[in-house]
C-alpha cells in the first residue's frame, strides 16, 4: 500500500514537472545548454582517451616492451683520430670508426647478461620483378630473432632453417601485401620471386600487421607487410656488404689546386638497425648505458650511432595525451558546473514566479517533502533531457573528430552511462537548494504574494 502511494506521488510529481517544462520550452532548453555541452565534452574526452589507450597498446605491441634500438649515424665528422690532415698550419688527425656491424651484435650478446636476444637488420631499397613487372620493395636482411623482437608472426610457411641461414641460400619470407601484389588469388608459398638480380624462393608469409601512419612516423616503424625478408648472410653474400672495402666511398678527395680534403664516407655501417631485447623492462636504462659505452669504445671513441628506448617515447606520448585529456576533463567539468548553476538560477526564478502556487499547494495539504520532490523532479528532468541531447552530440562529435583529424575515438557504453549519472547528479545537487527554498516559504505569505 505504501509503495503504491509512493509510486503515485512520484508519477504525479513527474507529470507536473513535465507540464511546467513543456510550458517553458525555450527557457528549459537554454537552461540545459550547460549540461548538454558538458556531457558531450565528457563523452568526447573519454572516447579520445580510450582511442589513445588502444593506440598506445598497439604501438607497444609493435616495438616490443623490453626493446632497445640502436641505429647508425652515417657521415659523422670527427676532428680527432688516426689519419692526419693539415689545417691552418696545424696538423690534425681524423678518427675512423668501423661502423655498426655484426661483430658489435655478437659482442653485446656475449658480454651483457641482461640481453635476452638481439636482431640486426640490413635494409636495401630495391625492386622486384614478376611477369615482367617491376615494383619497388624493401629487402631486409634479418636473423630468426627478428620475428620475435618485432612481434611478427609467420602465418603461412616457416621461419628460416639453420641450413638456409648458414649456407646463405636464396630464400625469403614476404609480407602479406607483397603476396597480394605479386600472386593475386593464389598462394606464394614455394614460388619464386626475383628481387633485383637474384631469384628467391618464398618459404613463409607473415600475418598482416596493422601499423598506423602515426606509429610509423613517431616510432620509425616500417610497414612490415610490404617488405621481403631474407637471411642476413644471404643478404651479405648475394646483395651487399658494406664491410667490403671496395664498396665504401673514398674518404679523401683531391681539392682543385690544393691538398687532400676530408669528405663524408657515406654509409659505412654494415647493419642499419640493431634491436636489443632485455629480460626485464627495469633493466632497459642500465643496459642502454652499457651498450653505449661498449659501442663507443669499439668505434674508436666516435658516437656514430643513436640509442633509443621506444617504450620511453611511448610513455612520453601517453603523458602528453593524458594532459590533453585532463584539459578536456576540466573544460567538461566547468561546462557541467555552469549548467548546474544555470539550473539552480532558473529554478529559483521559477519558484519566485510560482510563489502563490506554492502557497496554495501548502494550504490544501501539501507537505514540505511534497514541494521538495516537485521541484527536484523538474531539476532532474531538465538535467536528464540535457544529458540525452549531450550524449547524442558527444557521439556525433567523436565521429566527426575521428574523420576530420584521424584521431581514433572509441565511444563505450560505460561513458554514456557515466554521462547519465553525472547529469542526474548535477540536477539533484543543484536542485536541492531551490527545492528547499520553495518548501520553506510561509504558506500565508506565499498566497498573498503578487
386, 32 contact by CB (below 8 A): yes
Cell of 362: 501548502
> CB under 8 Å to 19, separation ≥6 — which residues?
none
How many residues are there in the chain?
450
Q: Are strands 260-262 and 90-94 parallel, antiparallel or unpaired?
A: unpaired
H or E stretch including 171?
Answer: strand 171-174
The distance in angstroms from the start CA to the end CA of the chain is 40
pLDDT of amino acid 96: 78
Structure confidence by residue, pLDDT tens digits, 261-292: 444 556 788 899 998 988 887 888 889 899 99
Q: What is the pLDDT of residue 87?
A: 47
Vertex 180, ends 179 and 183: CA angle to 5°?
65
In 3D, which of 94, 98, 99 has the Cα closest to residue 80? 94
Residue 72 vs residues 120, 242, 387: alpha-carbon distances, Å: 12, 13, 55
> Is the model's pTM score more than 0.95?
no
Element containing residue 136 per DSSP (H, E):
strand 133-142
pLDDT digits (tens, 9 = 90+) for 349-364: 777 777 777 777 777 7
Closest by CA position to 203, among listed 190, 213, 184, 186: 190
User: Which of 197-229 are b and which e, b meaning 16 or more Cβ less than 10 Å from the residue's Cβ?
Assistant: ebebebbbbbeebebbeebeeebebbbbbbbbb
pLDDT in the model for residue 90: 46
- pLDDT for 232 equals 93
Please check whether residue 17 is in contact with residue 378, taking contact to mean a CB–CB distance below 8 angstroms: yes
Maximum Cα interatomic distance, the chain, rounded to a whole number of Å: 115
Model pLDDT, residue 210: 67
Question: Hey, what's the cell of 196?
Answer: 633485383
Low-confidence ranges of the chain (pLDDT < 70): 1-10, 13, 17, 56-65, 75-95, 210-221, 245-266, 312-318, 442-450
Sequence-distant (6+) residues with CB within 8 A of 284 are 66, 68, 278, 309, 311, 312
What pLDDT, on the 0 to 100 scale, is given for residue 350? 74
Name beta bridge partners: 201: 171, 192
Q: Is the dihedral of CA 377, 382, 386, 388 positive or negative?
A: positive
Ordered alpha helix ranges (H), 204-308: 213-219, 232-238, 284-298
Strands (E), 188-250: 192-195, 198-206, 227-231
Q: What is the pLDDT of residue 75?
A: 65
Amino acid at each position: 500500500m505504501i509503495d503504491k502511494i509512493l509510486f503515485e506521488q512520484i508519477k504525479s510529481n513527474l507529470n507536473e514537472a513535465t507540464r511546467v517544462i513543456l510550458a517553458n520550452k525555450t527557457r528549459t532548453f537554454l537552461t540545459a545548454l550547460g549540461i548538454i555541452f558538458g556531457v558531450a565534452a565528457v563523452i568526447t574526452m573519454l572516447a579520445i582517451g580510450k582511442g589513445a589507450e588502444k593506440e598506445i597498446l598497439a604501438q607497444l605491441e609493435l616495438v616490443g616492451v623490453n626493446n632497445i634500438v640502436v641505429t647508425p649515424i652515417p657521415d659523422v665528422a670527427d676532428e680527432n683520430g688516426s689519419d692526419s690532415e693539415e689545417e691552418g698550419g696545424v696538423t690534425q688527425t681524423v678518427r675512423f670508426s668501423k661502423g655498426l656491424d655484426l661483430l658489435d651484435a655478437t659482442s653485446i650478446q656475449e658480454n651483457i647478461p641482461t640481453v635476452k636476444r638481439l636482431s640486426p637488420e640490413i635494409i636495401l631499397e630495391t625492386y622486384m620483378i614478376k611477369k615482367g613487372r617491376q615494383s619497388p620493395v624493401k629487402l631486409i636482411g634479418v636473423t630468426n630473432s627478428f620475428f620475435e623482437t618485432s612481434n611478427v608472426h609467420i602465418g603461412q610457411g616457416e621461419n628460416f632453417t639453420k641450413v638456409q641461414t648458414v649456407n646463405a641460400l636464396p630464400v625469403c619470407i614476404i609480407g602479406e601485401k607483397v603476396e597480394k601484389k605479386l600472386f593475386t588469388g593464389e598462394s606464394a608459398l614455394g614460388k619464386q620471386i626475383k628481387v633485383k638480380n637474384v631469384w628467391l624462393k618464398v618459404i613463409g608469409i607473415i600475418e598482416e600487421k596493422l601499423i598506423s601512419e602515426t606509429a610509423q612516423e613517431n616510432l620509425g616503424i616500417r610497414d612490415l607487410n610490404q617488405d621481403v625478408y631474407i637471411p642476413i648472410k644471404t643478404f651479405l653474400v648475394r646483395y651487399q656488404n658494406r664491410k667490403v672495402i671496395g664498396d665504401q666511398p673514398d674518404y679523401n678527395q683531391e681539392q682543385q689546386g690544393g691538398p687532400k680534403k676530408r669528405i663524408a664516407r657515406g654509409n659505412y655501417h654494415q647493419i642499419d638497425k640493431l634491436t636489443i631485447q632485455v629480460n626485464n623492462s627495469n633493466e632497459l636504462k642500465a643496459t642502454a648505458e652499457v651498450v653505449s659505452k661498449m659501442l663507443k669504445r669499439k668505434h674508436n671513441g666516435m658516437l656514430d650511432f643513436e640509442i633509443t628506448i621506444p617504450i620511453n617515447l611511448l610513455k612520453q606520448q601517453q603523458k602528453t595525451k593524458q594532459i590533453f585529456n585532463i584539459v578536456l576533463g576540466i573544460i567538461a567539468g566547468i561546462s557541467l558546473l555552469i549548467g548546474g548553476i544555470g539550473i539552480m538560477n532558473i529554478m529559483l526564478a521559477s519558484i519566485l514566479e510560482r510563489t502563490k502556487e506554492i502557497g496554495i499547494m501548502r494550504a490544501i495539504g501539501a507537505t514540505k517533502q511534497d514541494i521538495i520532490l516537485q521541484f527536484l523532479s523538474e531539476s532532474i528532468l531538465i538535467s536528464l533531457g540535457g544529458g540525452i541531447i549531450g550524449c547524442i552530440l558527444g557521439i556525433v562529435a567523436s565521429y566527426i573528430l575521428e574523420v576530420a583529424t584521424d584521431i581514433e575515438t572509441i565511444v563505450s557504453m560505460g561513458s554514456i552511462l557515466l554521462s547519465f549519472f553525472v547529469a542526474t547528479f548535477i540536477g539533484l545537487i543543484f536542485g536541492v537548494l531551490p527545492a528547499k527554498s520553495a518548501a520553506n516559504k510561509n504558506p500565508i505569505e506565499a498566497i498573498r504574494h503578487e
